[in-house]
A and B are shown apart, each in its own frame.
Chain A
């Protein structure tokens, strides 16, 4: 048996020809679909990645969701409300994509609230002013787009298709965030200070969204061989910096990195090194808001239990009544 990817030996029990078929599908850049045979490791990696992504959408509703009731104009209130609603929708598509691999939404939610599965550590930072709403749109959605656009070509069909729709909406959110900041920068001195302060606080955590540097990213090589992931963390980070610098200039804010400068030779920006120890601390649970985010999600789930039980009980009663009606 031959294999095109080096990262994992073929499982000893792979039925005849199936591993070759899978490898050939990946090699030809075709999509793997839910009913196709796939190696267990591929399935597990995808479930973990998609669940983590879904959890991030759901937890990610919290930092901005805090501002819906306080948004300073009705237009901004509507925009923010719609954005946070989109994130719930993204969570739904992604949990559905995970379900095509045999996962179960209830089980994944439980893993999240028990701390057994992660979400993006960016959402463990607080939102301190309304400018944070704009900066999250600009940086965090911008970084998410850089990470996610290549996933539209991910080898797993349902994930790739969910990502197409999600990326379109994220791109819309990014523009809305930037447009809020443009408006604020044309406003009062206090508004401009709010924007710069939010930029200072969110820049480094946003760069960390691409994950640890390539030489410290244990699962990257295998995911790239399987074409679940298409670009390395460092490549995507550089792409984000290159994309954001001219936008910052146009906006009139300073990115808080003294080492940031254009490098003629490489055709990219040079930039400083994020504090990787901070990233590790936040991932391990020691960020400013980890406990609060988890507590909110857990409370919502637990307080909603009686509603879900009632819906299930009603459906069962209805089914029994229908059956009884049919039998009579």
Chain B
């Protein structure tokens, strides 16, 4: 390989600078897709569904981003970022779809940066503070098992855009769930300390499980999934009475507002700016 050639490519003029970097040249993630809401689909319900799923994904991605430079091993650094990026991609598509369905025409950033905590519809499990790696694994296991089951149903949704987003997401979520399940088994089986931490993490997550079930009842499927993984890890899923309230109704823990302050701070400090 000639190194001079690479230097030349770097230094040469580019007529259209937005094309310098792949993936940066488009603003609209649904560009080129027929975005009409089909007849017979309740547009308002579709928008609400997309926002709730996008909020879960965005808030989860934000928590995963907090692991950057803090993961226990480089392989985990790469894997957690990968999962965060997949979820961020899902959020972008879903917000865009919500903006078309609710008739406001809002773009992805309007939803992510210019709504307050009470307007977010993510489940509370997603917003809980980072905790240790055991909690990250448990949270990922629960959320990806639920989301995978839910997305499998959504593949048959009458809205073709949401169905397509779900079909793409199923592949990603299968990997997320696999990754979390493998770590769940390693940590449950590993040492006394890792086992203890996994039990504590399951205890912390358990009260928030009930909140996950919405339009499609995937409760039994998810419960069976979690039972199998925890059993393989030598753990049991504790039974807790569900906490009152629901993130799906905009009732959040005290942890969501500070998460959003960090996420939205720069965007809100520069109204009218383009990035």
Contacts of B193 in A (CB 8 A): 306, 309-310
Q: How far is the CB of A201 from chain B (nearest CB, A)?
A: 18
Does A267 touch B at the CB level, under 8 Å? no
Among B2-10, B146-154, B159-167, the one that faces the other chain is B2-10
Q: How far is the CB of A160 from chain B (nearest CB, A)?
A: 9
Q: Are A167 and B133 in contact (CB under 8 A)?
A: no
Does A89 touch B at the CB level, under 8 Å? yes
Q: Are A71 and B92 in contact (CB under 8 A)?
A: no
The answer to whether A74 and B108 touch (CB under 8 A), given A88-B78, A179-B21, is yes
**Taking beta carbons and an 8 Å cutoff, which residues of A are in contact with B?**
58, 61-62, 65, 68-79, 81-82, 84-85, 88-89, 91-92, 95, 130, 142, 145-146, 149-150, 152-153, 164, 167, 171-172, 174-176, 178-180, 182-184, 186-188, 190-191, 230, 239, 242-243, 246-247, 250, 296-297, 299-300, 303-314, 317
Looking at chain B's contact residues, the main secondary structure is: helix
Most buried by B among A65, A91, A297: A65
Write the chain B residue with the least CB distance to A174.
B10
| Docked complex Cα distance between A174 and B7 (Å) | 12
Closest 7 CB pairs of A and B: A304-B72, A310-B190, A310-B194, A175-B20, A85-B81, A307-B72, A72-B267
Q: What would 10 A/B residue contacts be, using CB atoms closer than 8 Å?
A: A73-B109, A73-B275, A76-B275, A78-B89, A81-B81, A88-B81, A149-B6, A188-B272, A304-B73, A307-B187
Q: Are B88 and A142 in contact (CB under 8 A)?
A: no
Most buried by A among B18, B61, B81: B81
The answer to whether A69 and B62 touch (CB under 8 A), given A92-B75, A130-B266, is yes
Q: Are B70 and A296 in contact (CB under 8 A)?
A: yes
Q: Are B275 and A317 in contact (CB under 8 A)?
A: no
Q: Are B27 and A178 in contact (CB under 8 A)?
A: no
Partner of B189, one of A70, A82, A314: A314
| Docked complex Cα distance between A145 and B10 (Å) | 9
Most buried by B among A91, A95, A306: A306
Most buried by B among A82, A85, A242: A85
Contacts of B108 in A (CB 8 A): 74
With A171-B9, A175-B21, A309-B194 given, name 18 new contacts (CB 8 A): A76-B275, A84-B81, A85-B85, A88-B77, A88-B81, A91-B74, A92-B78, A153-B1, A176-B21, A183-B274, A247-B11, A299-B70, A300-B69, A303-B132, A310-B191, A313-B190, A313-B191, A317-B189
Q: How far is the CB of A290 from chain B (nearest CB, A)?
A: 15
Does B17 touch A at the CB level, under 8 Å? yes
| Docked complex Cα distance between A176 and B17 (Å) | 10
Q: Are B24 and A75 in contact (CB under 8 A)?
A: yes
Partner of A81, one of B13, B65, B263, B274: B65
The answer to whether A78 and B85 touch (CB under 8 A), given A300-B72, A311-B190, is yes
Contacts of B75 in A (CB 8 A): 92
The answer to whether A89 and B22 touch (CB under 8 A), given A68-B65, A76-B275, A296-B69, is no
Contacts of A313 in B (CB 8 A): 189-191, 194
Does B253 touch A at the CB level, under 8 Å? no
Interface members, chain B 71-108 (any A CB < 8 Å): 71-78, 81-82, 84-85, 88-89, 91-92, 95, 108
Contacts of A180 in B (CB 8 A): 275
